[in-house]
Each structure stands twice: as C-alpha cells, then as structure tokens.
C-alpha cells in the first residue's frame, strides 16, 4: 500500500510515517520496511518515531502537509509535549530552515537547565539558600571582608547567611552572597553601591557591588555584554550542529562534491592560519577520528575509487578548521574585537564552502560568512547599542542513496533486527 500510493499519489511525510508505523505494528521488520520502500535505516527510524507524536506536535505536522520532511518530523517528535520548543521549530520551518540549529539550541538550553538544577540541588544539600535573584539586604561575597580577610565561598561555607543565585544569562555560574552581612560579623570592603537589578536583565550583577537592597536598585542592563553571552551560546550550538552534519552527511559520501578539489587546492596554495597550524597533526587527532568515525584508514583507502579520495583531504581540512573554531580559543571567532586562532575571514571562507555544498548556515555562521557583525538571533534583537565588553565565560547532495546494497548491509540488518527485538520486548 505504501509503495503503490507513494508512486501514484504523493503522501505527506506524516502519512508516510503513519503507514510505516502501521506496517511495523502488524509485524514488518525494519529491514523489510527499508527494502520495500527504499528508505534508509535512519529515515525508517525517524518515521516510526514521528508516527507516535500527539497533541500540538502532530497538529503542527498535519498543518504543514507536504511542506515538511521526515527529518523535520523527527525533530518535532523529539520535542513532543514541549509547546515552546515546538513553536520555535515551527518558526524555523516557516523561515525555510531545516530546524537543526533551532533544535540544537533547545538541546543546549535543556542541558544547561539540567546542570543548573544539579548544581542547585548540591548547594541546597550543603546548606545554602538558592534563589533566582539576590534577596533584599544581601551583598555579594567579593564586596565583603571578615576580620580583615576577604570572603570567598570556601571561607563563607559555615555562615548562617550563606546563599547563592544564578544569573539568567550565565545559568551555570553561581553567585555567592550573604543574606545579612552585619548580623554575621562581615564588613564592607568599599563604599556601598546598590546591587544591580536582575529584573533589568543585567547579566553581570557582581561588578562593583557592595551593600545593597537587592532587586529594584540596580543599574541598567549592558546590551553589549548580553550580545557576547548570546553569541557564545549560539556559536557553541552552531559548532555542534555543523560537526554533526560533517560526520553524518558530508564525509560518509561515496564521492566528493565537485566543489571539493578546487576548494582544497586553493586552501593548500594559500595555506591560511588554521591549516598552517593544524594540518600536520589533524589526521592523528581525536577530532579527525570523531568526524570520520574512524573510517579513513590507509589500508582501506588504497582500495577506494578515485572519486572518493578527495574526501580524505577534505576531512583533514575540516579537522583543522573545526579544531581552530571550537573550544575556548575558537569560541571568539565570531567576534570582531577578540583574537581567535581562526580569523573571521578564514572561518567565513570555510562556511561559504560548506553552504555551497548543502550545509545550512545558522544566523551567527551566516554573519561570519557575510563578513558582518553578529547582532543576535532575531532581526529585531537590539543587542548592539552598547560597546561589547569581555565576558570570561569566557550541498544539496547527500550521501549516495544508490550505493551498493552489499556495503554495510549485514550491519544495518543486524541493527534493524536488534531494534525490532527491543520493540517486541517492549
């Protein structure tokens, strides 16, 4: 039924998912479904997961009709039950985006929230009061001394007034305070100034704060600093999504895109900073093996067709660029006022190449590729009206679908069988 209707009259992605789920429910294995429909193993898995959606996620998928793909359905299924997340994905779909970058930001935020809750629970267990903003009449520890000695979290750990709050823009950074400094024998290091007002969204409430009255008495937010925090988060999420695309879409291909060799040749002739600094060590790096899943071995490469060999060189170039644009040094690449081992121009050339072979750039990557300053994720974000200040937190082709069925067939069938067994047990 699927095959007949798929070729005679198009089904929507959700209808396809429902059909495959019905086939699975009546006993068809994933291997049989995959061979009957011509879909890949990951596509079948995504379809079976998407068919289980309910509520607003399914309503959204139905509303999109033919304008949604199986991959986008899988994203909706991943966040089924989270209306805010489904809304953000819907906005991305309506903007013509795949939704991968939006999904990665949501995953990032969920991970941060979970880690913050873990830290907060640990602090509560140690006897700390944990709040979302500093209560009235509190002071941060760096503004206090006790018997002439500076106070630190370690030396304040037994004080009955110990407390901690987390800034909304640095959710993993705990700020320690004392609820009643005078009653607990502390003194102020310098002239009292009001605590910044977190409700004004100041992401760095600790600078220059002495005694204060807590919320309601602070300075205005610093848009420049807000932009830096937002940019660092966006850059980290984009790096994760980009590396996943390299690992799952580009480098597993059987043939290199035609744009690969001209780009590699130009890079080797120009030898920009990232290649000059990292090309010698890149093939032996953990990042190279992560991006290639350990599949580029010299013994195997000798038997490869000539058309695939440029992928090996491209993997080396990718490892060099990703090494220099990721981690602590590389997270400043998007900024115009900070040093990075990969300059904005160099990163822009890398991003433009990836966009030309099918990678979807995020907002911050697009800004670097266009050579313009990053101004926030939304067009109406007004985050650049103040000077940026430092924050210590420091193509179109896909892997060949027609590849020889004998390559990896046994592995895929074994994986399918394992998943079918697990489903039956469930």
Per residue in 302-313, pLDDT (tens digit) is 778 888 889 989
Query: How many other CB atoms sit within 10 Å of the CB of residue 158?
Result: 8
Percentage of the chain surpassing pLDDT 70? Answer: 79
Looking at the chain, how many residues does it have?
A: 426
Question: Which pLDDT score is estimated for 313?
Answer: 92
- pLDDT over threshold 60, residue 213: no
Q: Are 214 and 133 in contact (CB under 8 A)?
A: yes
Mean of per-residue pLDDT scores for the chain = 78
**What number is the average pLDDT over the span 385-400?**
39
Going from the C-alpha of 288 to that of each of 18, 295, 316, 317, the distances in angstroms are 39, 10, 7, 10
Q: Which pLDDT score, from 0 to 100, does residue 27 have?
A: 84
Structure tokens at 195: 């605590």
Q: Above 70 in pLDDT, residue 223?
A: no
Cα dihedral across residues 346, 349, 350, 351: positive or negative: positive
Matching residue, tokens 């994760």:
240
Higher pLDDT, 94 or 351: 351
Contact status, residue 109 vs residue 80, Cβ threshold 8 Å: no
Helix count (H) and strand count (E) of the chain?
18, 7
Domain regions of the chain by residue span? 2-98, 107-221, 225-395
Sequence-ordered list of residues with C-beta below 8 angstroms from that of 414, at least 6 positions apart, any chain? none
pLDDT category at 391 given cuts 50, 70, 90 is very low
Residue 211 has pLDDT above 80, yes or no: no
Predicted confidence at residue 372, as pLDDT, reads 95
Higher pLDDT, 243 or 170: 243
Residues with Cβ within 8 Å of residue 202, at least 6 apart in sequence: 196, 218, 219, 220, 221, 222
Element (H, E) at 318: helix 309-325
Helix (H) or strand (E) holding 264: helix 260-270
**Is the pLDDT at 174 greater than 70, yes or no?**
yes
Q: Would the pLDDT of 84 be above 80?
A: yes
Span 404-413, average pLDDT: 42
Residue 100 has pLDDT above 70, yes or no: yes
Most confident of 56-70, 129-143, 149-163, 245-259: 245-259
- pLDDT level of residue 134 (50, 70, 90 thresholds): confident
Q: What is the pLDDT of residue 393?
A: 42
Residues linked to residue 399 through DSSP beta bridges, in sequence order: none
CA-to-CA separations, 100 to 23, 103, 114, 205, 361, in angstroms, rounded? 28, 5, 21, 33, 10
196 band by pLDDT with thresholds 50, 70 and 90: low
- Burial pattern 189-222, b for ≥16 Cβ within 10 A else e, equals eeeebbbbbbeeebbbbbeebbbbbbbeebbebb
CB of 287 closer than 8 Å to CB of 319: yes
Residue that the structure tokens 């205005």 belong to = 220
At 15, list the tokens. 């209808």
Pick from 175, 168, 170: nearest CA to 123: 175
Residue 300 has pLDDT above 80, yes or no: no
Average pLDDT, stretch 117-138? 85
Using the structure block, give the residue that is written with the tokens 């607990």.
184
Between 8 and 83, whose confidence is greater? Answer: 83
CATH of 2-98, one of 3.30.420, 1.10.10, 3.10.530, 2.60.40: 1.10.10
Flag whether the pTM goes above 0.75.
no
**SS3 state at 259:** coil
């Amino acid at each position: 039924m699927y095959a007949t209707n798929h070729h005679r009259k198009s089904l929507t992605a959700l209808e396809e998912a429902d059909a495959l789920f019905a086939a699975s429910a009546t006993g068809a294995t994933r291997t049989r479904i995959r061979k009957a429909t011509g879909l890949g193993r990951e596509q079948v898995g995504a379809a079976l997961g998407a068919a289980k959606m309910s509520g607003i996620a399914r309503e959204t998928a139905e509303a999109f009709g033919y304008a949604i793909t199986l991959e986008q359905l899988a994203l909706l299924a991943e966040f089924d039950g989270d209306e805010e997340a489904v809304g953000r994905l819907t906005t991305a779909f309506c903007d013509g985006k795949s939704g991968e970058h939006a999904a990665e930001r949501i995953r990032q935020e969920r991970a941060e929230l979970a880690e913050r809750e873990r830290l907060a629970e640990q602090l509560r267990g140690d006897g700390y009061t944990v709040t979302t903003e500093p209560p009235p009449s509190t002071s941060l520890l760096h503004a206090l001394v006790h018997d002439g000695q500076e106070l630190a979290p370690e030396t304040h750990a037994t004080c009955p007034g110990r407390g901690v709050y987390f800034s909304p823009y640095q959710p993993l950074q705990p700020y320690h305070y004392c609820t009643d400094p005078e009653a607990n024998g502390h003194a102020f290091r310098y002239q009292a100034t009001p605590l910044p007002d977190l409700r004004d969204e100041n992401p760095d409430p600790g600078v220059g704060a002495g005694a204060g009255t807590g919320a309601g008495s602070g300075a205005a937010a610093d848009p420049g600093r807000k932009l830096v925090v937002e940019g660092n988060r966006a850059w980290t999420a984009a790096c994760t999504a980009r590396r996943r695309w390299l690992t799952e879409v580009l480098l597993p291909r059987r043939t290199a895109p035609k744009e690969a060799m001209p780009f590699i040749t130009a890079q080797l002739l120009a030898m920009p900073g990232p290649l000059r600094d990292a090309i010698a060590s890149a093939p032996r790096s953990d990042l190279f093996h992560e991006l290639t899943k350990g599949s580029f071995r010299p013994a195997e490469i000798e038997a490869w067709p000539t058309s695939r060999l440029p992928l090996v060189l491209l993997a080396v170039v990718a490892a060099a660029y990703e090494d220099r644009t990721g981690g602590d040094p590389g997270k400043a690449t998007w900024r115009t006022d900070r040093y990075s081992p990969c300059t904005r121009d160099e990163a822009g050339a890398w991003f433009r190449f990836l966009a030309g072979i099918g990678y979807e750039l995020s907002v911050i990557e697009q800004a670097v590729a266009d050579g313009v300053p990053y101004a926030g994720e939304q067009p109406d974000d007004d985050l650049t009206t103040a000077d940026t200040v430092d924050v210590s937190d420091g193509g179109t082709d896909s892997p060949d679908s027609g590849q020889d069925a004998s390559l990896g067939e046994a592995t895929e069938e074994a994986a399918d069988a394992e998943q079918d067994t697990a489903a039956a047990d469930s």
